[in-house]
Chains A and B, each alone.
Chain A
Amino acid sequence: MLRRTPRRKPRSRRRWHERAITQARDCGLLGADILGSGRRLEVKIKQGAGAFVCGEETALIHSIEGQRGMPRPRPPYPVTRGLFGRPTVINNVETMANLPGLFRMGPEAFAALGTAGSKGTKVFALSGQISRTGLVEVAMGEPLRRIVEEIGGGVPEGHVFKAVQIGGPSGGCLPGPQLDIPVDYESLKTVGAMVGSGGLVVMDERACMVDVARYFMDFIQREGCGKCIPCREGTRQLLAILDSLGRGRRREEPAGALERFQGLISLERLARVIQDSSLCGLGQSARNPVLSTLRWFRAEYEAHAYDRRCPAKVCPELLLYEIEEDLCNGCTVCARKCPAEAIVGSRKSPHHIIAEKCRGCGSCLTACPSGAIKVS
């Protein structure tokens, strides 16, 4: 299971930034009279505390102004009324980093790269179950397959590709057959994903897509600003529905099963309301991790909801742990490791797991020296 509660770590990169600024000033690129042009340009670094929503442009403005990082309605857009009420242009660092190349190549040559709607190149951060991780720059419109298989070298030996999560926390998950899609703004949107931050996380057969959706939804419902109802309350409910899908019989209240079926049915309606009515991009795209997995991996959702089965064997409560009598030599290690005291048996004779007590933590599986624990 993917670990929850991502910790915020605002790492200080201030030193590098300051050095770069000093260098630029020394070269005459910053200051009152840059390159003798009579124009003035200053660069100031303002460090945030790392809240995801503070990347949204109006929240960013509030944050810089010293207010709580909460978005506000647009219009007025920042170009009309932005930082301290002044017209403001907001750009990503990568956009800025494109400028030297653009000037060097000239606009035509730059625009020749990429597709009609998405020009130039894009840097992706390849990670996950893939042979070569790291940053890669490709022309817009490259097929996703090329990035994953050729550049990244595909999933490691002995594993099977399952999905690629693209676009950061509010991006979407795409299955193998969708890998031929060109990577550009428009195409990705049609399949429920987005270019977003340029994150590319590759997953193999060991990943459970309900779990993946749950992980991202947990992140989103924590990292929103809490201002608007659909995002604040809606993502909490989306998470609760996803949580209920991973719940075993033991922790379920009588009405639980019905609730799970209803939850699955309501997921799409709720996701649409959140998208339709949220104030900022965070809420408007919060549905992607859920709807894209639901769209491409529906069978896996249904296995969770109707059969209480996690095909990838990830959701602990849905796993059935058993001891194969033939393989068990009665060493008692598993019984001592089990936190739920769910394993019984006497020394040197086969042990048994009491299914009602088992929490599915997997301690016995790692503890057993004879490989007698069977999971299904």
Chain B
Amino acid sequence: MQVTINNRPAEAREGETILELARREGHAIPTLCHMKGLLPSGACRICVVEVEGQKGLLPACSHPVQDGMVIQTHSARAVETRKTLVELLLANHPDDCLYCVRSGTCELQDLARAYGVRRRRWPAGLRHHSLDVSSPALVRDPDKCILCGKCVRACEEVMGVAAIDFTHGGSWTVIAPAYGGDLNRSPCIGCGQCIVVCPTGALRERSQLDRVCAALADPELTVVIQHAPAVSVSIAEELDLPGGQDFNPQLVAALRLLGFEYVFDTGFSADLTIMEEAAELVRRIKLGGPLPMFTSCSPGWVRWVEQARPELLPNLSTCKSPQQMMGAVIKSWFAQRKNLDPAKIFSVSVMPCTAKKAEAGRPEHAREGRADVDAVLTVRELARLIRQRGIHIQELKPEHADLPLGMRSTAGRLFGGTGGVMEAALRTAWILLTGEDSPPLRVAALHGQDGVKFATIEAGGVKLQVAVANGLRHAQTLLGEIAAGKHPELQFVEVMTCPGGCVGGGGQPIHKDGEHALERRQERINALHRIDDEGMLRRSHRNWAVNELYREFLGEPLSEKSHELLHVHRTPVLDEEDALV
């Protein structure tokens, strides 16, 4: 199809929208509600363009290109309309940019700047709603919400949770959990996917930066920090450096500069998780179930099972997540070795995740009234701290994390991407099942960002059937198939709550154009795979530090001590009448 766009001829593809054509041709049309891969919602109208012969303006995001169309993306009428729309949004918005966590990454602020909004033109002012701080993971600030609806779609269509929706009507419309309640009374699992898609500061993580800074300033406390496998491959993006590279050694150096006394690698406890989980799997296979066993390292998933499908709890691995295993080991074995009083250790973790904040606060993750992990920072919060201190991470000399808890295999690092836990677990389960240490290192069927991936591994008379669910909604699809009897022999399932796994977590850097989210996740996964490909130590059970922990302290996987420190009993969080899903 031949069309004209901004006075230039262009070749349009069948079924393409005006927005797709314009972007392909290099004409930038702003959007606020567009989400790649989902049906256009047409809510924000910022993308309206002028098309010859049309009465009104047309929304570029949803309107298909037609043969012979003459399109002006920035006609005077389109520009004035966009500017008026931004003015209308700002009329009902607090003047908070200087105090706002999204200042600089806010799409509304960008539009106001680009369209030259200079004064309040409209008489009706801000309609105030109260802040929702009920969730341990995130804060909802409806005053800053522009009702683009992306969070609603992320929560429902991407995650399959549907904790929030449009409520009330007309100019009184707000986004809120059911019955105008708070997030902690909703099915919200704290995944933070809504934060990552929100164009403004209306959704943000519940920050614990102040507590961390206070701890760092307290001479009484030994402040230790662990960082998750998906952090060092993404933090560069939040610091305006090119993505897709691993900054692990520089990150360690930066954390020391920030004043953390010991820097550990959550990859260590990922290896530990593999030891326990593989042993648990093998025991379940030998003792007859319950199978399939589901991984339990993703707290959003665990939360969802507890409240939505409590009957599946026996199938969930009893292992704590790597964050919590590390937390428990720090305040026991490590404290013992260093002769430290656990009460005087302040344990921080940096996670790509907001649900980890909620996880750290759960009662089963505390012993003697003390939380195993005292504060959880997202990648974004850590980047804020690094920027505050003026640290240029790319200029730092590489350093190694503190031993032994900074020692990890590259299998532990794989945890950061979808399929990674499974690959790592297979390497160790293999030796337990076959007695031979010659596992398949890479399982291609588990790579990629498909929703559900399956693999069958056979050797020495042993057959393992496994699956990987990439994102909670796909896990729900898989559960449906399992319930329908489609996968009777499935033994082990990895579930990551967020799309792409932790590399796509709700605590990861926020990019203004959500267009390339998939590619960015892939870049981060590729970086993790490169680390594994180049690694010398690729099997969790060969991590000498983990083995030392077993020798000195735990005994063996699934020992009594392991159970006390590394496993949990799972109970549904709500009784049946209360179940919200």
Contacts and interface: CB of A to CB of B under 8 A. Distances in A.
Interface of A: 51, 53, 68, 70, 72-73, 75, 220-230, 232-237, 239-241, 244, 259, 262-263, 266, 269-270, 273, 275-279, 284
Nearest to A279: B42
Given A68-B166, A222-B170, A273-B80, A232 B124 contact: no
A314 to B, nearest CB: 21
A276 B48 contact: yes
Contacts of A223: 169-170
Contacts of B45: 228-230, 277-279
Interface stretch (B81-89, B291-299, B445-453): B81-89
A73 B40 contact: yes
B62 interface: yes
Contacts of B166: 68, 70, 225-227
Interface string B166-179: 10111111000000
B315 interface: no
Interface in B18-55: 40-46, 48
Nearest to B77: A276
Q: Give the size category of B's interface with A.
A: 35 or more
Contacts of A276: 48, 56-57, 77, 81
Given A227-B149, A230-B85, A241-B123, A236 B171 contact: yes
Nearest to B48: A277
A275 B45 CA distance: 12
Name the prevailing secondary structure of the B interface residues. loop
B81 A277 contact: yes
A221 to B, nearest CB: 5
B169 A277 contact: no
B373 to A, nearest CB: 39
A222 B88 contact: no
Nearest to A229: B85
Contacts of B121: 262, 266
A272 to B, nearest CB: 9
Interface string B104-136: 000000000000000001111000000000000
Contacts of A273: 80-81, 84-85
Name the prevailing secondary structure of the A interface residues. helix
B123 A234 contact: no
A276 B82 CA distance: 11
B171 A232 contact: yes
B124 A237 contact: yes
Contacts of A230: 45, 81, 84-85, 88
Nearest to B152: A68
Contact of B124 (A220, A236, A275): A236
B88 A221 contact: no
B192 interface: no
Nearest to B43: A227
Nearest to B45: A277
Nearest to B166: A68
Nearest to B122: A237
A232 B173 contact: yes
B56 A284 contact: yes
Contact of A233 (B57, B61, B81, B91): B91
Residue from B91, B124, B170 having most chain A Cβ neighbours under 10 A: B170
Nearest to B86: A229
B566 to A, nearest CB: 44
Closest 3 CB pairs of A and B: A226-B173, A73-B42, A240-B124
A102 B43 CA distance: 40
Nearest to A72: B42
A68 B91 CA distance: 26
A133 to B, nearest CB: 29
A75 B171 contact: no
A225 B173 CA distance: 8
Nearest to B80: A273
